Amino acid sequence: MEKGMKDHAALAEAFINDEERVDWHDGALWWIRQKRDIASKQIPEWEDLRETASRIKNNVLSNLHDYLLQFEANATLNGIKVHWAADAEEHNAIVYSILKDKDIKQMVKSKSMLTEECHLNEYLIERGVDVINSDLGEYIQQLDNEPPSHIVLPCIHKRKEEIGEIFHEHLGTEKGVSDPTTLTRFARRHLRDVFITRRAALTGVNFAVAETGEYVVCTNEGNADMGAHLSEVQIASMGIEKIIPKKAHLGVFLRLLARSATGQPITIYSSHFKKPREGQEMHLILVDLGRSRQLGRVDFRDSLKCIKCGACMNTCPVYRKSGGLSYHNTIAGPIGAILAPNLDMKKHADLPFASTLCGSCSNVCPVKINIHDQLYQWRQVIVREGYAANTKVLGMKAMAWTLSSPTSYSTLGKAGRWVLNNIPFAVNNKFNPWYKQRDMPDGPKESFDAWYAKNNSQDSEKD
């Protein structure tokens, strides 16, 4: 961790202090997980789809160079202007140059986690360009000056009453109004004017087809379509891992995506963009931003299969109880914890430890990423590279020494039982993180070895 920066445990503690919020946050996400389970069981070939998607992505990652060049060539033939960006700085500079060339000072943006990774909004605002997020959840987060806490449900951690107060402060709604339908209708009216007046629109990309040079954007609100179809300049920002080889493969991924994300059969809008309409410019930016480095990490390359459905977040007991903002990274939850260290191992060294390694994330992943295995592998890398907290390293060394010596194990076991039974306050205090949520148990009267030896001896005598 960087000096002065709060780690996941400290940020999670602040979230957990609001017990009511934690309970409904946990319940809401688990309800979505249950919807995913119901939806997946309605199609007998679900596991075949997961396996097929995983194999397609394996093929993509093994031939990424060729597919990217094929996509660029076909997209260019379609009339799309294709750009390449190695990192966030290049990506943001390209977007700004496109807008500057057209003297555009206002832009509407649909959901794009890649642009969140690049901090595009902040970059453009500093240069005099007004940017409005048109996805309702991201719009709420933007008004409240917070990043998204979930890749599909950006403001899942907010109560409707809090959203009502945000709308009252920033949009002038009547104070005390918190009815979701009323607030949504008000936001729709406000955003409708944004769509009509913005000359430029930016979208993310869910899938890009190498065979045809087109890309697909999946939404439930239709905001990406509104922005793209009304704009003079359409920009799409895309991570290089979003490629799929053929249009025929879309059916596999579209059937998996919505069911895994929200339990829907398919997103309300699955929009194909292939060529600009007459008089419109269409730009697409292919962005690396650490993805090539992750591709070169044998143990972690499969993380690039991710289709950003959020299923691992909805099922993760740590995410559900600690909230997405506790991960101090654009992508939160289990998948974020295996992507973030690739970008900055020191800054995100704590995230792979924010997991029980229960494996539920891997079980629900639609492209069969072995997320919990990668979390464990990242822990090993972080310790080996010297980025783990000293307390954790020393604790593990002490435990290794204790467990490797029968004598030390027996001696320290006796000492521990005596402390628990005679001076429990030495353990039950604020310096013990476990004590913050639970009491330590009473010490047993004897060790398991002593109990076993005594009872085994009695059994032998009976024989």
Contact predicate 127/96, CB 8 Å: yes
Residue 463 has pLDDT above 80, yes or no: no
The reply to whether 384 and 329 lie within a common domain is: yes
Confidence band, pLDDT 50/70/90 cuts, at residue 459: low
| Of residues 315, 286, 267, the one with CA closest to residue 29 | 315
Residue 456 has pLDDT above 90, yes or no: no
Give the chain's domain count: 3
The reply to whether 116 and 206 lie within a common domain is: yes
Q: What is the pLDDT of residues 362-405, one digit of tens each?
A: 999 999 999 999 999 999 999 999 998 888 888 888 889 999 99
The reply to whether 112 and 222 lie within a common domain is: yes
Residue 4 has pLDDT above 70, yes or no: no
Confidence band, pLDDT 50/70/90 cuts, at residue 1: low
Strands (E), 72-188: 81-85, 106-109, 130-133
172 falls within a domain: no
Residue 26 has pLDDT above 90, yes or no: yes
53 falls within a domain: no
Of 228, 260, 289, the one marking the end of a domain is 289
Tell me which of 88-92, 95-99, 288-292, 390-394 is least confident.
Answer: 390-394
The reply to whether 83 and 1 lie within a common domain is: no
16 falls within a domain: yes
167 falls within a domain: no
Of 236, 259, 289, the one marking the end of a domain is 289
Instruction: Quote the CA–CA distance of 323 and 28 in Å, as a whole number.
Output: 12
pLDDT reported for residue 206: 98
The reply to whether 240 and 322 lie within a common domain is: no
Of 251, 268, 289, the one marking the end of a domain is 289
In DSSP terms, which residues pair with 243 in a beta bridge? Answer: 208
186 falls within a domain: no
The reply to whether 124 and 264 lie within a common domain is: yes
Q: What is the DSSP letter of 328?
A: -
> How much is the pTM?
0.90
pLDDT reported for residue 114: 97
Contact predicate 327/337, CB 8 Å: yes
The reply to whether 320 and 284 lie within a common domain is: no
The reply to whether 269 and 370 lie within a common domain is: no
Give the CATH number for residue 232.
3.40.50.10420
Residue with structure tokens 């890398």?
381
Q: What is the pLDDT of residues 94-146, one digit of tens each?
A: 999 999 999 999 999 999 999 999 999 999 999 999 999 999 999 999 999 99
Confidence band, pLDDT 50/70/90 cuts, at residue 436: confident
pLDDT reported for residue 335: 98
The reply to whether 64 and 104 lie within a common domain is: yes
Query: What Rg do the C-alpha atoms of the chain give, in angstroms?
Result: 26
171 falls within a domain: no
Contact predicate 242/191, CB 8 Å: no
pLDDT reported for residue 444: 86
Residue 31 has pLDDT above 90, yes or no: yes
Residue type, 5: M
Average pLDDT over residues 306-310: 97
154 falls within a domain: no
Instruction: Quote the CA–CA distance of 417 and 129 in Å, as a whole number.
Output: 65
Round the average pLDDT of the chain to a whole number and report it: 94
Residue with structure tokens 């292919």?
286
pLDDT reported for residue 73: 98
The reply to whether 375 and 240 lie within a common domain is: no
The reply to whether 305 and 380 lie within a common domain is: yes
Residue 243 has pLDDT above 70, yes or no: yes
448 falls within a domain: yes
pLDDT reported for residue 19: 92
Average pLDDT over residues 9-22: 93
Q: What is the pLDDT of residues 311-338, one digit of tens each?
A: 999 999 999 999 999 999 999 999 999 9
Give the CATH number for residue 20.
1.10.1060
Containing structural domain, residue 261:
58-146+199-289
pLDDT reported for residue 432: 79
The reply to whether 367 and 315 lie within a common domain is: yes
Average pLDDT over residues 14-43: 95
Residue 83 has pLDDT above 60, yes or no: yes
